Amino acid sequence: MQIEMVDLKGQYDKIKPEIDQAVISCIGSTSFINGPAVKEFQVNLQQYLGVKHVIPCANGTDSLQIAMMALDLKPGDEVICPAFTYVATAEVIGLLGLTPVMVDVDPNTFNLTATGIEKAITSKTKAIVPVHLYGQSCDMEPIMILAQKYKLFVIEDNAQAIGADYTFSDGSKAKTGTIGHIGSTSFFPSKNLGCYGDGGALMTNDDELANKMRMIANHGQEKKYYHKVLGCNSRLDTIQAAILNIKLKHLNSYSQARNDMALFYDTVFSAVGELQVPARQINSTHVFHQYTLKVKNGRRNELQQYLLKLGIPSMIYYPLPLYKQEAFQQFVSTDFKLLASEELCNEVLSLPMHTEMNIDSMSFVCNSVQSFFKK
Ligand SMILES: Cc1ncc(COP(=O)(O)O)c(C=O)c1O
């Protein structure tokens, strides 16, 4: 039985005629850069997310960088981010001459908390980057209250959670990525809303920030050949936008398929004492970009090898907290340590999770994991 972490081919096969037609029509039109599909996608995504502005760009890392450039931060300013995340979140902070201040995450939800963030705030703190890891929202309401109290910007790194809903204490709901001052996201092929190459976008309800980010993403120009600020070249290809217009229509059903699968996994794995199934943040839906177990008693690597021998792939997102990465040594003292992040790096294991998984494959994964713990 062939089992994949993600099955992009299977997903493509189901929407092939529509995708092929859209791509061929883009090539035929030769409007490869800023063609009509880009504007169309911008509007479609605005409507889907319920946000005033979407600014498409070249990838998720660029979206974070453009967001930070738009906030006029100065070298030495501190930006709070989780230590347990993908490198891009903190990389752009360092690249811009800012200081990433890495904070521990909640060991159950894997996300930053307002309490953890507050302890790290200093007079130099200017922004917070909560990452909605694996597909569910950080508890954003207390984070936004904190940001208001200390006059900080919030950039949500929504690369893994597009489509998730956050519910505020008054019952109102918002899509992740639209709650902070700026939201950023990635359309990397394996993301929940993935294109067939690189892609990304910024979200905001703030007109001024939207204009600035649009300008930065386009060489700092508002009018062709008149450059107001230093910018970069970060555009979403027309072909990718055409693909995203089609895939966006399926996003809710993709999220549902992922949730159905997570429930199936949960039922089996919650009965295994050495496993902890993904905790749910009560005020967020989960879109299961990853289904990530915690494997206790130091048996994670052994389980991973066992599954591999049976042809079941799994991934460790992430093997090191960022402060242990060589590239980040310049930002931390040698004895810097965050307990939950360290523990998670040793315990997390993400299992195959995608929209094309069938019941036989899921049962095979479940039976294999069970058989490991019965050995
Ligand atoms: C949390 C997070 N932030 C940022 C990124 C960067 O996105 P991209 O690969 O499109 O640059 C990713 C994608 O892998 C991610 O998972």
Q: What is the pLDDT of residues 263-290, one digit of tens each?
A: 999 999 999 999 999 999 999 999 999 9
Test site for ligand 1: of 186, 187, 232, 244, most ligand atoms within 8 A of the Cβ: 186
CA of 208 to the centre of ligand 1 (A): 25
pLDDT of amino acid 317? 98
Q: Which residues line ligand 1 (CB under 6 A)?
A: 59-61, 85-86, 88-89, 131, 157, 159-160, 186, 188, 198, 200
Q: How far apart are CA 61 and CA 190, in angstroms?
A: 15
SS3 165: strand
The Cα–Cα gap between 368 and 372 comes to 6
DSSP single-letter state for residue 176: T
Q: Give the pLDDT confidence score for residue 2 in this predicted structure.
A: 85
3-state secondary structure 88-109: HHHHHHHHCCCEEEEECCCCCC
For residue 358, pLDDT beyond 90: yes
The pLDDT tens digits of the residues spanning 92-139 come to: 999 999 999 999 999 999 999 999 999 999 999 999 999 999 999 999
Alpha-carbon span 80 to 9, nearest angstrom? 38
Measured distance CA(2)–CA(312) in Å, rounded: 8
State pTM to two decimals: 0.98
Pairwise CA distance, residues 24 & 46, whole Å: 25
Please report the pLDDT score of residue 375 as a whole number.
79
Residue 44 scores a pLDDT above 90: yes
**What is the rounded average pLDDT of the residues 224-230?**
96
Query: How far does the centroid of ligand 1 lie from the alpha carbon of residue 157, in Å?
Result: 8
CA distance 63 to 199: 9
- Whether 374 and 276 have beta carbons less than 8 Å apart is answered as no
| pLDDT tens profile 81-102 | 999 999 999 999 999 999 999 9
Q: How many angstroms does the Cα of residue 306 sit away from the middle of ligand 1? A: 29
What pLDDT score does 84 carry? 98
Average pLDDT, the chain: 97
Q: Across residues 173-187, what is the average pLDDT?
A: 98
**Cα(194) to centroid of ligand 1, in Å?**
11
Helix axis angle, 60-70 relative to 87-95, nearest 10°?
Answer: 40
Confidence of residue 1 (pLDDT cuts 50, 70, 90): confident
Which amino acid is it at 137?
Answer: S
